[in-house]
Amino acid sequence: MSNGFRLKVVFYKTDLGNEPAREWLKNLTREEKKIIGEDVKTVQFGWPIGMPLIRKLESDIWEVRSHLKNRIARVLFTIITDKMILLHGFIKKSQKTSQDDITPLIRKLESDIWEVRSHLKIRIARVLFTIITDKMILLHGFIKKSQKTSQDDITLAKKRATEVRSQQL
């Protein structure tokens, strides 16, 4: 990769165009933004790295652990190809990162299929996607009836990903 960095840093964007991590950062002080930015930059140029700056939370979710003046911040991210996607930021209120902060994120289902997980008030929504070159292709969206993503939904997404890839050739 050019410019000496290993990862390109991008903000996760919702269907409505919101960028939750960027919006959260905007509400911090200038000093706090600088500290978090330096920590993200350390990851960008030094990936892969581990504790104490980075901790793996789930199979494809990590947290940047930033120590601010009087509090602790976390930025949750995932890596897709050469991109560090900043998903969610928050100020820690306890020692343990809660499952509620991890849950509405992205996880890898198959080698080239990812799932965006979103918990609505009374239901669970999912969107399955793949990455082709520099494009995120949405393959399948649905409201879940159970906690586990069904094999039928994964199979449908894989079929659509194959179709999209064959059109790209």
Distance from C-alpha of 139 to C-alpha of 137, rounded to nearest angstrom: 6
- Residue 90, pLDDT > 60, answer yes
Model pLDDT, residue 1: 45
**pTM for this one?**
0.60
Walk me through the domains of the chain, giving residue ranges and CATH numbers.
Answer: 2-102 (3.30.2310.20), 109-168 (no CATH)
pLDDT band at 147 (very low <50, low <70, confident <90, very high): low
Q: Which two tokens stand for residue 127?
A: 């969107």
For CA atoms 85, 90, 95, 100, the dihedral sign is negative
Q: Of residues 152 and 57, which shows the higher confidence score?
A: 57
pLDDT band at 129 (very low <50, low <70, confident <90, very high): confident
Contact 78, 105 (CB under 8 A): yes
pLDDT band at 54 (very low <50, low <70, confident <90, very high): very high
For 15-62, give the DSSP string.
Answer: TTS--HHHHHHHTS-HHHHHHHHHHHHHHHHH-S--TTTEEEEETTEE
Provide the percentage of residues in the chain whose pLDDT is more than 90: 29
Distance from C-alpha of 65 to C-alpha of 78, rounded to nearest angstrom: 14
